[in-house]
Amino acid sequence: MRTTIVIGVIAAFFGVAQATTYAQFCNDNACNDGCGESVSVDNPGCLNENGRQSIKFHDLNLAQVSLVFSPSPNCPCQNYCVDNILNCGTDFGLSCAGPSCYDLTTSPGAQSFRFIGSSCESNNC
């Protein structure tokens, strides 16, 4: 019985630790209008989201995620980056202090974006 409980606790911990955060790009700066399909921030692929004004985050987890901006389609380079956009890992607990809605209108314009699981590197455009 005790072994079953220990295994259950370990499985529950790894289920939480491996959960992913999802993002939706929206047409307004308050994450209410025309939000697109949810994408995992664990996927480093390029997102061509020209004209979007905000990003809605849900199912926040403890992973460090940075958002890379590119001034043209297909993410050829980085002209801006938001380091640790979810503000995770800075305190104890199973949640992030970061925004559930990130306003893109306060950042330099971009036509494409990608999420990375590390800190921002230097701009290279």
Q: Is residue 10 part of a domain?
A: no
**3-class DSSP string for 6-71:** HHHHHHHHHHHHCCCCEEEEECCCCCCCCCCCCEECCCCCCEECCCCCEEEEECCCCCCCEEEEEC
Q: Is residue 2 part of a domain?
A: no
Mean pLDDT of the chain: 83
Cβ neighbours, 10 Å, residue 122:
6
Question: For residues 82 and 54, what is the distance between their CA atoms, to the nearest angstrom?
Answer: 13
Q: What is the pTM of this model?
A: 0.78
Q: Is residue 3 part of a domain?
A: no
Q: Is residue 62 part of a domain?
A: yes
Domain with residue 102: its CATH number is 2.60.20
Tens digit of pLDDT for each residue in 54-82? 999 998 777 789 999 999 999 999 999 99
Tens digit of pLDDT for each residue in 96-121? 666 789 999 999 999 999 999 999 99
Who has greater pLDDT, 76 or 8? Answer: 76
